[in-house]
Chains A and B, each alone.
Chain A
Amino acid sequence: MQKIEAVIQPSKLDAVKDALVEIGVQGMTITEARGHGRQKGHTEFYRGREYSVDLLPKVKLETVVADEMVEKAIQAIIGVARTGTIGDGKIFVTKIDEAIRIRNDERGEVAL
Chain B
Amino acid sequence: MPEKETPEGKMRSEYQRRMLAIRDAFEAGAAGAATIGARAQAMDELIVGLWTRAAERSAVLRSGIALVALGGYGRGELFPYSDVDLMYLLDGKVQEKDVKQPIRRISQELWDCGIRLSPLTRKRSEAERFDADNVEFALSSLDHRVLAGDAAVYERFADTGLAKMLERDGKAMVAGLVELTSERHKKYGDTLFHLEPSIKDCPGGLRDVHVCAWLKTLGAAAAGMKPGATGAGEGWAAGDREDFRQAVGFLYTVRCFLHYRHERDDNTLDWQAQDAAAKALIGLDRERARLEGPTGAAYWMRLYFRHARIVERSLTHMLEMVPARERVGRWTVMGKAALSKVRRRPEPPAVGYRVDNGRIVLGAAVGAAGDPAQDPEVVLQLFAAMARTGCTLDRGSEERMSQALPLLSTHLEEGPALWRHLQEILLGQYAGNALRAMHAQGILELIIPEFHGIDALVIRDAYHRYTVDEHTMVLIDTLHGLETPQTGPMGEWAGRFGGILRDVQHGALLYLGALMHDTGKGRSTGNHAGESARMAESVAERLELDVYESELLLGLIRNHLEMSAALRRDIFDLETVSAFAGKAQTPEALRMLTLFTYADIHAVHPDALTPWKAENLWRLYLATANYLDRSVDDERVGARVGKELVHRVSALLPGKREQVEAFLEDFPERYLRTRTPDQVRMHFEMAERFAQDRVQMEFRYAPETSEITLVTPDRPLLFADMAGALAAWGMNIVTADAFSNRQGIVVDNFRFSDTFRTLEMNTSEHAAFVASVHDVMAGKAAVEKLLAGRRRGRRKAPKVAVQSRVDFDDEASSHSTLLQVVAQDMPGLLRAVSQTLAGRGCNIEVALVDTEGETAIDVFYVTRNGAKLDRDQQGELKRDLLSAIEANAS
Contacts of B820 in A (CB 8 A): 45, 48
In the complex, identify which listed stretch (A9-17, A66-74, A90-98, A101-109) lies at the interface while the others stay far away. Answer: A9-17
Contacts of A53 in B (CB 8 A): 619
Contacts of B567 in A (CB 8 A): 10
Q: Are B612 and A32 in contact (CB under 8 A)?
A: yes
Contacts of B805 in A (CB 8 A): 48
Minimum CB–CB distance for B801 against chain A, Å: 13
Alpha-carbon distance A51/B572, docked complex (angstroms): 14
Contacts of A10 in B (CB 8 A): 567-568, 616
Contacts of B852 in A (CB 8 A): 47
* Complex interface residues of chain A between 29 and 80 (CB less than 8 A to chain B): 32-34, 44-48, 51, 53, 56-57
Alpha-carbon distance A14/B567, docked complex (angstroms): 12
Alpha-carbon distance A11/B610, docked complex (angstroms): 17
Please report whether the interface of chain B is mostly helix, strand, loop or mixed according to DSSP: mixed
Q: Are B807 and A45 in contact (CB under 8 A)?
A: yes
Alpha-carbon distance A57/B618, docked complex (angstroms): 12
Q: Are A48 and B625 in contact (CB under 8 A)?
A: no
Q: Are B570 and A51 in contact (CB under 8 A)?
A: no
Alpha-carbon distance A68/B568, docked complex (angstroms): 32
Contacts of B857 in A (CB 8 A): 47-48
A-B contact count (CB 8 A): 44
Q: Which residue of A lies closest to B859 (CB)?
A: A47
Q: Are B619 and A46 in contact (CB under 8 A)?
A: no
Alpha-carbon distance A37/B537, docked complex (angstroms): 49
Q: Are A51 and B622 in contact (CB under 8 A)?
A: yes
Minimum CB–CB distance for A79 against chain B, Å: 18
Alpha-carbon distance A46/B572, docked complex (angstroms): 15
Q: Are A48 and B822 in contact (CB under 8 A)?
A: yes
Q: Are B802 and A48 in contact (CB under 8 A)?
A: yes
- Is B286 engaged at the interface, CB distance under 8 Å to the other chain? no
Find A32's partner among B568, B613, B855 (CB 8 Å cutoff).
B613
Given the known inter-chain contacts A48-B802, A48-B805, please indicate yes or no for A57 contacting B626, CB distance below 8 A.
Answer: no
Q: Which residue of A lies closest to B804 (CB)?
A: A48
- Is B615 engaged at the interface, CB distance under 8 Å to the other chain? yes
* Complex interface residues of chain B between 599 and 652 (CB less than 8 A to chain A): 610, 612-613, 615-616, 619, 622-623, 625-626
Alpha-carbon distance A10/B572, docked complex (angstroms): 11
Alpha-carbon distance A53/B619, docked complex (angstroms): 9
Q: Which residue of A lies closest to B625 (CB)?
A: A46
Find A46's partner among B570, B612, B622 (CB 8 Å cutoff).
B622
Contacts of A14 in B (CB 8 A): 568
The count of residues in chain B whose C-beta lies closer than 8 Å to any C-beta of chain A is 25
Alpha-carbon distance A48/B532, docked complex (angstroms): 38
- Is B569 engaged at the interface, CB distance under 8 Å to the other chain? yes
Minimum CB–CB distance for B753 against chain A, Å: 19
Q: Which residue of A lies closest to B822 (CB)?
A: A48
Contacts of B613 in A (CB 8 A): 32
Find B626's partner among A9, A13, A34, A45 (CB 8 Å cutoff).
A45
Contacts of B568 in A (CB 8 A): 10-11, 13-14
Q: Are B610 and A32 in contact (CB under 8 A)?
A: yes
Alpha-carbon distance A39/B452, docked complex (angstroms): 51
Most buried by B among A10, A11, A34, A48: A48
Contacts of B615 in A (CB 8 A): 34, 57
Most buried by B among A33, A34, A44, A47: A47
Alpha-carbon distance A11/B573, docked complex (angstroms): 11
Contacts of A32 in B (CB 8 A): 610, 612-613
Contacts of A51 in B (CB 8 A): 622
Most buried by A among B569, B570, B571: B570
Q: Which residue of A lies closest to B856 (CB)?
A: A48
Q: Are A47 and B616 in contact (CB under 8 A)?
A: no
Contacts of A33 in B (CB 8 A): 612
Q: Which residue of A lies closest to B569 (CB)?
A: A11
Q: Are B619 and A11 in contact (CB under 8 A)?
A: no
Given the known inter-chain contacts A11-B568, A11-B569, A11-B570, please indicate yes or no for A44 contacting B612, CB distance below 8 A.
Answer: no
Minimum CB–CB distance for A54 against chain B, Å: 12
Contacts of B572 in A (CB 8 A): 56
Contacts of A57 in B (CB 8 A): 571, 612, 615-616, 619
Q: Which residue of B lies closest to A34 (CB)?
A: B612
Q: Which residue of A lies closest to B821 (CB)?
A: A48
Contacts of B822 in A (CB 8 A): 47-48
Minimum CB–CB distance for A89 against chain B, Å: 12
Minimum CB–CB distance for A49 against chain B, Å: 8
Minimum CB–CB distance for B519 against chain A, Å: 28
Find A44's partner among B570, B610, B622, B807 (CB 8 Å cutoff).
B622
Contacts of B619 in A (CB 8 A): 44, 53, 57
Given the known inter-chain contacts A9-B570, A11-B568, A53-B619, please indicate yes or no for A48 contacting B612, CB distance below 8 A.
Answer: no
* Complex interface residues of chain B between 563 and 601 (CB less than 8 A to chain A): 567-572
Minimum CB–CB distance for B154 against chain A, Å: 46
Q: Which residue of A lies closest to B622 (CB)?
A: A46
Interface 1/0 per residue, B846-862 and A, CB below 8 Å = 00001010010100000
Contacts of A13 in B (CB 8 A): 568
Alpha-carbon distance A94/B625, docked complex (angstroms): 43
Q: Are A48 and B855 in contact (CB under 8 A)?
A: yes
Contacts of B610 in A (CB 8 A): 32
* Complex interface residues of chain B between 735 and 753 (CB less than 8 A to chain A): none
Alpha-carbon distance A45/B622, docked complex (angstroms): 8
Interchain residue pairs with CB less than 8 A apart (15): A10-B568, A13-B568, A14-B568, A33-B612, A34-B612, A34-B615, A44-B622, A44-B623, A46-B622, A46-B625, A47-B822, A48-B820, A48-B822, A48-B855, A53-B619
Q: Tell me the A residues contacting B by CB distance below 8 Å.
A: 9-11, 13-14, 32-34, 44-48, 51, 53, 56-57
Q: Give me the 4 closest cross-chain CB pairs, A-B, nearest first.
A: A48-B822, A32-B612, A11-B570, A46-B622
Please name 11 further chain A to chain B contacts, defined as beta carbons within 8 Å, in addition to the given A48-B802, A57-B571, sorted by A numbering: A9-B570, A10-B616, A13-B568, A32-B612, A34-B612, A44-B626, A45-B820, A46-B622, A47-B852, A47-B857, A57-B615
